[in-house]
Chains A and B, each alone.
Chain A
Amino acid sequence: MGRPNGPGNATWKAGVYLLAENRLLRETLSRLLQKKTEFRVVGEGAYSDAVIEQVLASQCDILLLDGVTRVHAGTDLIHELLRALPDLRVLLIGMEEEEETFVRAVRSGVAGYLLKDASAMEVVAAVRAVTQGEAVCPPRLCQALFHYIAQQAREGTVPAVQAELGLTPRQQQLVSLVAQGLTNKEIADHLHLSEQTVKNHVHRILRQVHARSRSEIVATVRNCGFSS
């Protein structure tokens, strides 16, 4: 559904904010977008401490963000912006073809992910696509997304939990049982392990996720997207 002054309106132009380190890239890409009748560039700049305020003040519809700026800013930037502007569409450009980076970006809420070998016309087409509510991703990485979801459903594990906290699928399985309130003895019976082995696992997980209790373990992994 289009907003009153949104995509449904024939004269509406999507407001684009360009956030990239390289000024030449911002200037020329901005000019290419301005040549298209459906876009207006409402702001551009490199990453700074004031970037969130600047993007919010621009009231942009689309945020074009380069890979390096995203690394500088961390995923908090995207989280914070999307919390403040839930309709904002974030398009990452100049990205590496790395499955893990891509899945993390999707989890952070981006609408599009373009590799660094994309052409200028592909960037413009991607801005148009995300404006129209579509998602943009390279086909090979789309396959990685399918794999991620299937793996999560099959194993009840979250690769991001493994990547960020270093928890193996077995440890995640154990956390899932801890979250259900099972005792070490009950977990041992469930997993056909000795109670001592379960104690050792729990002890190691406490150290790995810097938790002081079983409930802190559960809270920490849930923050990483793990739902038991």
Chain B
Amino acid sequence: MSISTPGGPERRPTVVSTGKKPAAGRPAAGDKPAAKAGAGKAGGGKGTPRPGAGGKGRKPVTPVKVSQGRSWGPIALFVAVGVLAVGIIGVGAWAVYQGAQPWQKRADAINGIVNYRDKDPESLKYEKHQSGPLKYKYSPPVGGVHNDAWQNCMGDVYDAPIANEHAVHSLEHGAVWITYRPDLPQDQVEKLAGKVRGTEKMLMSPYEGLDKAISLQAWGYQLKVDNADDERIDEFIKDLRVNASVEGPTALCNQGVTATGTTPRDLGAQMPTQ
């Protein structure tokens, strides 16, 4: 912008020089452009010679226009190119940044989600598989020690409660476990089942003693909601299914326990007899 000011003073002498009464015309011509230059850029520039020309009846307007075009052209071009470049880079970078948001960030952005990986990492630690009933700090559990056998999580919809000790192992394999209060209306249960059926790394079961109607678990994450229409359910599944796996995307969800019942069992007990 500093380059635009030389255009003003440079113009003034040209106008004045063609005027016949320099002494008288000077102050008037000098005052007007100063006032107009402050008001506008191109409009002010064009208007400048006119009062002078109108009053004195001269047309030295052409050289004024030429000198004006010479400085504005490249500036406008560079500004345009610059704005365009910054725009392209900005929009591109923003799109890439948005798309590349790691799943952890997207999960943490879900309203009401509890991130136990940050809040209580100790509760998720374990040294080896343990058999038999185990105690969990949170209800429903979101991770930690578990049995050898996992609960089948091939989009399995269980109609009765299942064992925490198996379900936690499924969470470790990247499953999202939907639990609901046994008194949840049937149409809501069906809605939830529709998100589970046919999709691996998903399982669902009723759960006694929930403080909210529905609770979703992934390894180290939990979200409790009041009804099956809550949009955060889909967001939770989208962000954490498979991603939350401790053992990567190829950990198995089949060949596990398919029976219901809250007492953990040995896998051998439900294997078909050969």
Are A and B genuine complex partners?
no
Where the two chains meet, the residues of B that have a C-beta atom closer than 8 Å to any C-beta of A are none
A interface residues with partner B (beta carbon < 8 Å): none
